[in-house]
Amino acid sequence: MLDLRLLRSDPEEFQARLRRRDPTLDLSPLLALDEERRLLSGKADDLRRQQNEASEQIARLTREGRQLERDRLREEMRTVAAERKRIEERLQEVETELQSLVLALPNVPHSSVPDGTKEEKVILRTFGEMPRFAFPPQHHVALAQNLKLLDLERAAKVTGARFPMYTGDGARIELALLHWMFELHVREHGYTPILPPILANRTSFVTSGQFPKFASEVYACPEDDLFLNPTAEALLVNLHRDEMLAEDDLPRRYVAYTPCFRREAGTYGEEQRGLIRVHQFNKIELFHYTAPESSYAALDEIVLQAETILQKLGLHYRVALLPAGDLAQQAAKTVDVEVWLPGQDRYYEVSSCSNCEDYQARRGSIRYRPIDGGKPRFVHTLNGSALATSRLFAAILEQNQREDGTVALPSLLADLLGQRTLVG
């Protein structure tokens, strides 16, 4: 959530910055409501003050036996009370509308974020050589089905389309990856491990930024007003909601494993089949609460920790800076890590690392008290996948495939599973 006082102080500047994300964005309805709210609030205060002063006068007139003056003043106050009620009812309507508009505003892009849309992202670096094959590389779906690692048909029978089912060595690979990544971030990177609930309440999703704008994309349990986790970010940002932290207790760094659920309504082409865009997937999530001055150093740290996973698995990937038009609602800056899938001759994002600055902290009232005793400040929150396993699984198969349809496992994964090759 953005600071309404800052918006009010320089609306043209903020509108220009926000239009880097959405050229149609218009702050004038919000600012008009804010002006009306302040006018109504001032009128309500004046009428309340009149009523308080009149109450004292009525008591004095009663003591002095001046009934006619008292009754006349009472009649005047009935009119004032009716006017105050009307104004306060309108004030409540305006505040509700204003809050809705403020919550719908996206975060302001950081100055280092380039303009443009998805096609205009900036490639920052690549790792490793792009694998070359003396044969046409297969798609991970064909590899996985021949090797009996996935059973998408039975998954669809049990649940529906775009829900994966890992079988045999596929199930072992998935669990081995999750456990290894979780332990790596705890042991080598010093994160506090968390296994959070999978369901969260409405307030949690408002804090994270998914609600109200993206409520239709989340699986809901309406009887309980609970919602399935689309990403552990939505859960971890609420760990310290409505709390006052100490500056010397920052940063707070958490790693969590969760299954994630996304409705992702719509139709997708051939390139999206298999594990590329699914309604359920597993993910290891990194989350930081930091002081503002250190948040961009923390973003660099999260990106490098996500890259570590791919480097240890020997996978070719690249790192991209997203343009303003491709940022998530809550993000001020996002860096994606994209792995190469030779079966589709393209890169796919396996980690999205974002600095949300104080956007989520304002929504969730998450502050810290500076060491020097100054005024409490909002923390900055950051998140990053390290990693989501579905596309990682696909990349392991596609980058390590052989002409005969077998897959040579990366040495680290081979050690975890106790076998070097996947054979159907």
User: Could you confirm whether 301 is annotated as catalytic?
Assistant: no
CA atoms within 13 A on the CB side of 333: 19
Q: Catalytic one among 90, 97, 349, 420?
A: 349
DSSP string, 295-361: HHHHHHHHHHHHHHHHHHTT--EEEEEPPGGG--TT-SEEEEEEEEETTTTEEEEEEEEEE-TTHHH
Q: Catalytic one among 351, 352, 354, 390?
A: 352
User: Could you confirm whether 174 is annotated as catalytic?
Assistant: no
Q: Catalytic one among 37, 233, 391, 398?
A: 391
User: Could you confirm whether 21 is annotated as catalytic?
Assistant: no
Q: Catalytic one among 277, 301, 307, 385?
A: 277
Q: Catalytic one among 262, 295, 301, 390?
A: 262
| Residue 305: Cβ within 10 Å count | 22
| Residue 115: Cβ within 10 Å count | 12
How far is it, in rounded angstroms, from Cα 200 to Cα 218?
Answer: 11
Q: Which residue has the tokens 């002081």?
A: 291
User: Could you confirm whether 352 is annotated as catalytic?
Assistant: yes
Contact 126, 341 (CB under 8 A): no
User: Could you confirm whether 49 is annotated as catalytic?
Assistant: no
In the β-sheet with 367-369, what is the strand arrangement from edge to edge? Answer: 244-246, 367-369, 377-378
Q: What are the helix (H) ranges across 19-64? A: 28-63
Q: CB under 8 Å to 344, separation ≥6 — which residues?
A: 139, 271, 398
> Which residues are known to be catalytic?
262, 277, 349, 352, 391
